[in-house]
């Protein structure tokens, strides 16, 4: 086997997802994932600390959200800066080409309590990334935390809808619609 294998992380992710679907998360080993990907166990551990993390993509999404908030127009209100970040996330991470993968990933996570727990922790990290991004824009606390929490709710709603829909509507558009609905619900709840 060659010392360097191209696209090793992507190959490991695909192999892991296939095996988790076929055998279940609990019944799949790191060695089996590496073998399915045509790689070695040491290559697996060069990219991921354990088999659970193979489905969670490191800090990519948190970075995209932070960059999206930073790149929002200077005059953007906090929730509009979050919406801009969700647009970036849609262009970079939740593309039409990845919809099948994310739908499969979501089903594997839903079937396993350990993976659901990890997904919840990832969600907390994404919320913190949005709050920190808003604070860097000068949004004071608690407004930054409230906007980040609402952004996390919108992200969850949009992710579920985007995965479940049969149309080719982009993630950013789905997220914007979810944000409008959340704003309307806040207005109804506070009246």
Where exactly are the structural domains of the chain? 8-54, 56-190
Contact assessment for residue 31 and residue 43, using Cβ atoms and an 8 Å cutoff: no
What global pTM score does this model have? Answer: 0.88
Per-residue pLDDT tens digits of the chain, which is 191 residues long: 445 567 899 999 999 999 999 999 999 999 999 999 999 999 999 999 999 999 987 678 999 999 999 999 999 999 999 999 999 999 998 988 888 999 999 999 999 999 999 999 999 999 999 999 999 999 999 999 999 999 999 999 999 999 888 677 899 999 999 999 999 998 888 76
CA dihedral sign of residues 50, 51, 52, 53: positive
**Buried-state track 38-76, b at ≥16 Cβ within 10 A, e below 16:** ebeeebbeebbeebeebbbeeeebbebbbbbbeebeeee
What tokens appear for 178 in the block? 């979810």
Q: For 57, how many CA atoms within 13 A lie in the half-sphere containing its CB?
A: 17
Q: Which CATH superfamily is domain 56-190 in?
A: Tetracycline Repressor, domain 2 (1.10.357.10)
Q: Cα separation of 132 and 96, whole Å? A: 29
CATH 3.40.50.300 fits 8-54, yes or no: no
């Amino acid at each position: 086997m060659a010392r360097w294998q191209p696209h090793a992380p992507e190959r490991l992710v695909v192999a892991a997802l296939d095996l988790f679907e076929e055998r279940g998360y609990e019944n799949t080993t790191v060695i089996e994932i590496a073998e399915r990907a045509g790689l070695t166990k040491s290559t697996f551990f060069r990219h991921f600390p354990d088999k659970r993390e193979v489905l969670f993509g490191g800090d990519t999404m948190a970075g995209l959200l932070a960059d999206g908030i930073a790149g929002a127009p200077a005059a953007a209100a906090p929730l509009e800066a979050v919406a801009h970040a969700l647009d970036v996330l849609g262009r970079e991470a939740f593309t039409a080409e990845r919809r099948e993968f994310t739908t499969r990933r979501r089903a594997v996570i839903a079937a396993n309590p350990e993976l659901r727990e990890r997904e919840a922790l990832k969600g907390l990290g994404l919320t913190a990334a949005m709050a920190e991004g808003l604070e860097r824009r000068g949004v004071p606390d608690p407004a930054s935390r409230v906007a980040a929490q609402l952004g996390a709710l919108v992200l969850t709603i949009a992710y579920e809808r985007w995965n479940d829909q049969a149309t080719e509507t982009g993630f950013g558009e789905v997220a914007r619609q979810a944000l409008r609905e959340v704003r309307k619900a806040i207005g109804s709840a506070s009246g």
